[in-house]
Amino acid sequence: MVNAPFFVNFTCSSTRHPGVARFEWVNEQWLLVGASRQRPESNPVAAEQRSQSGSFACASTYTGCPSCKADSFVQCGRCQSLGCWDNSWPEYTCPACGNQGPVSGGIESVSATGSS
Ligand SMILES: [Zn+2]
Ligand SMILES: [Zn+2]
């Protein structure tokens, strides 16, 4: 198992701006270490799909969503896409498919769009 840092498409659930999140393997779990805005015309460099499993969390150094500063993230249970999430929000609305509901459980796998 290769635990190299990887990038995942990430959408701001407030503004629907597309972005890219970077995960790094730290202390036996994947930590979200940063997210950046992605211009709509720029596609991820590598389109290779690979699935990462494990537990997912936010790094203490994570500075929040680049668009709305939400301090965490959620993976949609329906379409599996990642969106920003703030712990103060009562519900999550998926920016990709519109799925809406309270956030529960942890994230156990994420499909990456490419490696660094
Ligand atoms: Zn956001
Ligand atoms: Zn969804």
How far from the centroid of its chain's Cα atoms is residue 105's Cα? 15
**How many Cβ atoms from other residues are within 10 Å of residue 40's Cβ?**
7
Q: Which ligand is nearest to the CA of 101?
A: 2
Q: Is residue 1 part of a domain?
A: no
pLDDT at 66 over 90: yes
Close Cβ partners of 29 (under 8 Å, ≥ 6 residues apart)? 54, 55, 56, 57
Q: Is residue 19 part of a domain?
A: yes
- State in Å: Cα 57 to ligand 1 middle: 16
Could you tell me the residue range of the domain that residue 99 belongs to? 6-115
pLDDT in tens, 31-42: 999 999 976 555
pLDDT in tens, 75-93: 888 898 999 999 899 899 9
Q: Which ligand is nearest to the CA of 98?
A: 2
Tokens 């896409």 sit on residue: 81
- State in Å: Cα 50 to ligand 1 middle: 25
Count of domains forming the chain: 1
pLDDT at 114 over 90: no
**N- to C-terminal Cα separation, the chain:** 16
- State in Å: Cα 1 to ligand 1 middle: 31
pTM of the predicted model, to two decimals? 0.81
Q: Is residue 17 part of a domain?
A: yes
Two tokens, residue 54: 């494990």
- State in Å: Cα 109 to ligand 2 middle: 15
Q: Is residue 52 part of a domain?
A: yes
